[in-house]
A and B are shown apart, each in its own frame.
Chain A
Amino acid sequence: MSASTRRDGRLEAGGGPTAASLDVARIRGDFPILRREVNGRPLVYLDSAATTQKPQVVIDALADYYARSNANVHRGIHKLAEEATEAYEAARARVARMIGADDPRGVVFTRNATEAINLAARAWVEPRLRPGDEILLTEMEHHSNLVPWIMIARRAGAVLRHVPIDDEGHLILDRLEDLIGPRTRILALTHASNVLGTINPITRIVSIARARGVPVLLDGAQSVPHLPIDLRDLGVDFLAFSAHKMLGPTGVGVLWARPDLLEEAEPFLGGGEMIREVTLDAATWNEIPWKFEAGTPNIAGVVGFGAALDYLESIGMDAIRAHEIELTGYAFERLSAIGGLQIHGPRSPAERTGVISFSDATVHPHDLATILDMNGVAIRAGHHCAQPLMRRLGAQATARASFYLYNDAADVDALVAALSEARSYFGEAVRRT
């Protein structure tokens, strides 16, 4: 650890973050897992783009729900059922407020962002596809925003098109203009790349799409947790994201959609909860959003998600964003000082999230991740569920460090120290054979 950094993420002197507005030391105290050791070293968790750690308030919300209020929702007329339903629906309203949705009926709870994208693709887009219609995606999508479209395109005889990226990892918007055509039925793209960190200029993209009458689905899995989000500014038609990437439990995702689109969409899964009336041969559908929530949902998870959103709000998304910009800038500075490291994606922290993928000429990402793990440093290595993007980058795999509100300059220092050690270990180990 560099002598000049403290656990609170501020530097005593010299470069790096100087005015971090977050009290990271206090925040870290809220996350019990950050107190554990891994392989005899303090855990340095730099894999929040995969999933985030959970604050005690979220863990407590899950336990309290089961200890005090557990019952099925929207069914019983007893007290517990009433409390459970109230907590579940309060979380829905909480989600709507978080993303600037005027009407909570637009918020559908799913298992994860992947299911949310599948729901939009199957329930609203697929019934509108004719052979030869086009689905417009981009080269930087996660598999979860590629495969659902591959599946429905195959069934409907539709054609997939992809907006390319430039060498710095920005979408080429001129090409987007060319690729949106009269047969484009949907533009589905990520808000922030899980590999490059690139934040796409959504308002501009939406205005291009709108001018052609093309609806936009936004994959917000990597943006909603890290940026202030207001649907009234974004102007998209669908937004998908996951609770577990924003301090909430696993097993909860959200599809927000314009309520009028949800009204006209077909149900996705059939079963209890999503119906109004059922005979042996026929059924009519419940109101939105419940029409899309067949079966008993992850009630405790949704309640825990509500607690996570309260926690994020108490800190402030603007402050979290400012902190991540600072930390990313500091990480760039330190990583750039290591020769032979190729850092992917935009250079400017203002144009990206705190996701940093890099390739090292000396050590393969897999070997690097193992050596870092032995130092207690958790990063991701691999193709990050974005194989087409990897091909575009000419990399088979990358190492990826990703930050969140509980990371600070000391974590970056630990990464850099472990990285240098890995390189010298591998360099040395290879040399001595």
Chain B
Amino acid sequence: MEKPFAELDALYRDVVLDHYRSPRGREPLPAPDVQRRGFNPVCGDEVLVALAMDGDVVREVQVKSRGCAISVASGSMLADLLPGRTRGEAERLIEAFRALLRGEEPAGDLDLGDLDALRGVARFPVRIKCAMLPWMTLRESLRARERGGEDAQDAAATTEEARG
């Protein structure tokens, strides 16, 4: 049987699988300023995103995923990319990543780092939510922090707005 590896290799790039195999940022933060659980109602994937902040800047991140290779890798990349960025920069990253998953070239000169390896997801539309889950959860965390941080620690973000 001829193997459909070309298509699959575009989805499961080596960089993606490396993040899946050894996800970054799993260590719990001693004192997170805000945290949110995210949940993909379609498949049951879950993620926890916790942030330690210095004012407007994300100092440390914990991302703890239970899910498929795409959502775990995406969360791991988030943990790599986020520390040191402001809330505004994080929002721009989310938008740029979303554009990439739609098959568009992200505007501006934003460096997406390893996230670029997830551009293959654009060819598998049902998997876009998997990739967006940690990022939607990050957005919820940042918004909760903006609102005062401690409200509704258990409120879950969902991927429903990730359709874009």
Binding site for B on A (CB under 8 A): 39-40, 364-367, 370-371, 374-375, 381-383, 387, 390, 396-397, 417, 421, 425-426, 429-430, 432-433
Q: Is B31 an interface residue (CB 8 A)?
A: no
- Cα–Cα, bound, A66→B146 (Å): 57
- Of the listed stretches B5-13, B76-84, B88-96, B149-157, chain A binds B5-13
Among A40, A374, A383, A421, the residue within 8 A (CB) of B43 is A383
Contact of B4 among A366, A374, A383, A426 (CB under 8 A): A374
CB-nearest residue of chain A relative to B12? A429
Contact of B8 among A371, A382, A430, A432 (CB under 8 A): A371
Residue from A371, A396, A433 within 8 A of B67 (CB atoms): A396
Expressed in whole angstroms, the minimum distance between the Cβ of A370 and any Cβ of chain B is 6
Say what secondary structure dominates the interface of chain A.
Answer: helix
Given contacts A366-B67, A366-B127, A370-B124, contact A383 B44 (CB under 8 A): yes
**A425-B45 in contact given A366-B130, A430-B20 (Cβ < 8 Å):** no
A364 and B67 contact, CB distance less than 8 A: yes
Residue of A nearest to B44 (CB): A383
B144 at the interface (CB under 8 A from A): no
Indicate if the CB atoms of B21 and A430 lie closer than 8 Å: yes
* Interface contacts beyond A39-B7, A417-B1: sample of 8 additional A-B pairs, CB < 8 Å, sorted by A: A40-B4, A365-B68, A370-B124, A370-B126, A371-B8, A387-B44, A397-B44, A429-B12
Distance between B64 CB and nearest chain A CB, rounded to angstroms: 13
With A371-B8, A397-B43 in contact, is A366–B14 under 8 Å at CB? no
Nearest CB on A from B61, distance (A): 22
Tell me whether B42 is interfacial, beta carbon within 8 Å: yes
Whether the Cβ atoms of A367 and B68 lie closer than 8 Å is yes
Residues of A within 8 A of B127 (CB): 366, 370
Question: B66 and A396: CB pair below 8 A?
Answer: yes
Selected from A365, A374, A417, A421, the residue in CB contact (under 8 A) with B7 is: A374
Give chain B nearest CB distance to A2 CB in angstroms.
12
Could you tell me if A382 and B69 are in contact, using CB atoms closer than 8 angstroms?
Answer: no
Cβ of B46: which chain A residues have Cβ within 8 Å of it? 396
Question: Which one of B3, B17, B70 lies within 8 Å of A366 (CB-CB)?
Answer: B70
Tally the A-B contacts, defined by beta carbons under 8 Å: 67
- Expressed in whole angstroms, the Cα–Cα distance for A383 and B68 within the complex equals 13
- Judged by a CB distance under 8 angstroms, whether B105 is at the interface is no
Which has the most chain A C-beta neighbours within 10 Å: B18, B67, B68, B126? B68
Given contacts A366-B130, A421-B3, contact A432 B14 (CB under 8 A): yes
16 contacts between A and B (CB under 8 A): A40-B4, A366-B67, A366-B69, A366-B70, A366-B127, A370-B8, A371-B8, A375-B4, A382-B44, A396-B67, A397-B44, A421-B3, A426-B12, A426-B69, A429-B17, A430-B17
User: CB-nearest residue of chain A relative to B43?
Assistant: A382
Cβ-defined contact, A366 with B8, below 8 A: no
| Residues of chain B contacted by A426 (CB below 8 angstroms) | 12, 69
Instruction: Evaluate whether A367 and B44 lie within 8 angstroms (CB atoms) in the complex, with A375-B4, A433-B18 already known.
Output: no
- Please indicate the chain A residues that have their CB under 8 angstroms from the CB of B130 in the complex: 366
User: Which residues of the partner chain A approach B5 to less than 8 Å between Cβ atoms?
Assistant: 425
Closest 10 CB pairs of A and B: A366-B68, A383-B44, A374-B4, A382-B43, A364-B68, A433-B18, A397-B44, A433-B14, A433-B17, A396-B44
Assembly CA distance A433 to B19 (angstroms)? 10
Contacts of B20 in A (CB 8 A): 430
Task: From A367, A425, A432, A433, give the contact of B3 (CB < 8 A).
Answer: A425
Report Cα–Cα, A364/B9, bound state, in Å: 17
* A298 to B20 Cα, complex, angstroms: 47
